[in-house]
Amino acid sequence: MTEPISAVNAGSSSVSEIVVKKSTLSDSTKAQLEALGIAATDGMTESEAQAKIAAAKQEQNAQNQGGEQQGNSTESELLAEAKTLAASVGVTVSSDEDLTSILDDIGAELEVMLEEAGNNPSVLSTLSSYLSDLTSLDERYDTLQTTLSEMYAAMDMQATNNKIALGLS
């Protein structure tokens, strides 16, 4: 029982494709993956590897920044970060625009970019990074607003207590 020559040729071409896929990563990319603790898998393309490297570096930067920010952020710090993110995403921001509208504009732009991205892994990893930055800014802004509301409520309570103590009300 012998196989036709075309079946043997098909099998050898499949093997050569696998060999090519195994060796698609450059040495520098492999070194970067290893340094970040990411396993290089068979069939991983250069663009997929670069996307994983970028995502890992972005995550490390976010962790480093999170460790440095011990206290609460001020609204001006959040506004500066939002303007930087807006510039990265491609959203134009006027100098007098408030933080809420900037965050809304960034979110809308990210939705448009996500629809246009399709299944491109490098674009999706970048958009994921932008989205995590936007989520972080939004959560920190909500925390700031809650803290300010609680502080103002405590100040109002103290003012009321002072008026009562002085017999002014």
pLDDT in tens, 86-142: 999 999 998 888 999 999 999 999 999 988 888 788 888 888 899 999 999 999 999
pLDDT at 117: 81
What's the sign of the alpha-carbon dihedral 35, 39, 40, 45? negative
pLDDT at 62: 65
Percent of the chain with pLDDT over 90: 40
Cβ burial of 142 (10 Å; 0-12, 13-18, 19+) is exposed
pLDDT of 67 above 50: no
What's the sign of the alpha-carbon dihedral 63, 64, 68, 72? negative
Listing DSSP states for 15-50 in one string gives HHHHHHHHT-S-HHHHHHHHHTTPPPPTT--HHHHH
Residue 71 in contact with residue 113, Cβ under 8 Å?
no
pLDDT at 164: 93
Q: In 3D, which of 142, 134, 75, 126 has the Cα closest to residue 107?
A: 134
pLDDT of 12 above 70: no
Cβ burial of 103 (10 Å; 0-12, 13-18, 19+) is buried
Residue 166 CA, distance from chain mean position: 54
Q: In 3D, which of 52, 48, 44, 2 has the Cα closest to residue 20?
A: 44
| pLDDT (average), residues 27-52 | 74
Across the chain, how many H-helices and E-strands are there?
Answer: 6, 0
pTM of the model: 0.54
